[in-house]
């Protein structure tokens, strides 16, 4: 499949409308693009989180593919086990279908409590795709900070106030950690560029071995943004270089998007309620520190591409 808007529009949608995700949520777009990137049968599993609770409210399901609900920490373990069983059945001649295996998790269930299972699945080399929809906190359980939460964010466990200006730490670079496993394919994508996301999902499904996609997926409630702002905020994350769009294919780094007119972190953060406190008097140094870190990481990424 040559991924473009016309081909995507003709693909069957493998998640039904009527799910209970919030209006303007990012992850339903991610599901549509990723599942539309392959014509093969797909077995998918999802860690407990917003994606799971809004699409599988018993006795209903929005999924049009086989779906396994996992515990918060073991989506990668469950799907790697399903893939191992499939390989055994193929060797025994009991199955000859082409089946793809797909695991989902939010940043809480991926960056944090699911990292051990994810790392193990990648290291063992299972032929599977893991997709993290990164909305920057444990949104389903009340907007608690995760290691994906940006520095300065107000969350319920890093509340902004007189003692501290939101989360004190910078976010973890999980995509680089996955690339360090030496897997065939790892990439960062965004709902701000859905064609790029679908192209990367297609690549991920087609590699021989494990693949990892980290997808920027806004949460309008946790970020305190309007319900129609997901695309705008996602594009701003790309244009500020807070969320670089790149892929690592067989160890080669490639930056897929280099903004012609790079915007400041101030410009990207200001419309989001989770950063509102950073624009009060006395917070200038915090914002300068955030900008300096984003600039440093962007330059380091460009050097990796040139290496």
Beta strand 185-190 with 211-216 is parallel
Domain residue spans in the chain? 5-306
pLDDT of residue 259: 97
Give the pLDDT means over successive 10-residue stretches in the chain (307 positions): 71 89 94 95 96 93 95 96 98 96 97 97 98 97 97 98 94 98 98 96 97 98 97 98 98 97 98 98 97 98 91
Q: Give CA separation, 245 vs 60, 216, 234, 238, 260, in Å.
A: 35, 10, 11, 7, 14
pLDDT of residue 2: 63
- The topology (CATH level 3) of 5-306 is Rossmann fold (3.40.50)
pTM of the model: 0.96
pLDDT of residue 92: 97
Contact 46, 75 (CB under 8 A): yes
Residues 6+ apart with CB under 8 A from 238: 190, 192, 193, 244, 245, 257, 259
pLDDT of residue 4: 72
pLDDT of residue 18: 85
């Amino acid at each position: 499949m040559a991924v473009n808007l016309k081909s995507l529009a003709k693909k069957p949608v493998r998640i039904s409308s009527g799910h209970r995700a919030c209006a303007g949520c990012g992850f339903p777009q991610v599901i549509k693009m990723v599942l539309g990137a392959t014509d093969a049968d797909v077995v998918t599993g999802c860690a407990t989180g917003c994606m799971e609770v809004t699409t599988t409210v018993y006795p209903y399901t929005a999924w049009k593919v086989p779906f396994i609900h996992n515990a918060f920490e073991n989506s990668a373990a469950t799907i790697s086990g399903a893939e191992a069983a499939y390989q055994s059945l193929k060797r025994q001649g009991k199955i000859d279908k082409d089946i793809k295996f797909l695991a989902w998790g939010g940043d809480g269930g991926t960056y944090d409590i699911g990292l051990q299972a994810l790392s193990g699945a990648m290291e063992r080399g299972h032929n599977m795709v893991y997709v993290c929809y990164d909305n920057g906190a444990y949104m389903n359980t009340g907007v608690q900070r995760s290691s994906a939460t940006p520095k300065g964010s107000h969350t319920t466990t890093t509340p902004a106030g007189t003692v501290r200006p939101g989360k004190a730490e910078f976010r973890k670079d999980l995509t680089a950690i996955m690339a360090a496993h030496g897997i065939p394919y790892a990439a960062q994508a965004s709902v701000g560029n859905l064609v790029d996301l679908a192209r990367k999902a297609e690549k991920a499904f087609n590699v021989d071995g494990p693949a990892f996609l980290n997808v920027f997926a806004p949460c309008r409630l946790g970020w305190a943004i309007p319900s129609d702002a997901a695309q705008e905020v996602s594009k701003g994350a790309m244009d500020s270089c807070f969320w670089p769009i790149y892929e690592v294919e067989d160890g080669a780094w490639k930056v897929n998007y280099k903004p012609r007119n790079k915007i400041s972190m101030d410009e990207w953060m200001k419309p989001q309620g989770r950063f509102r406190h950073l624009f009060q008097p006395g917070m200038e140094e915090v914002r300068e520190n955030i900008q300096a870190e984003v600039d440093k990481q962007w330059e380091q990424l460009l050097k990796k591409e040139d290496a």
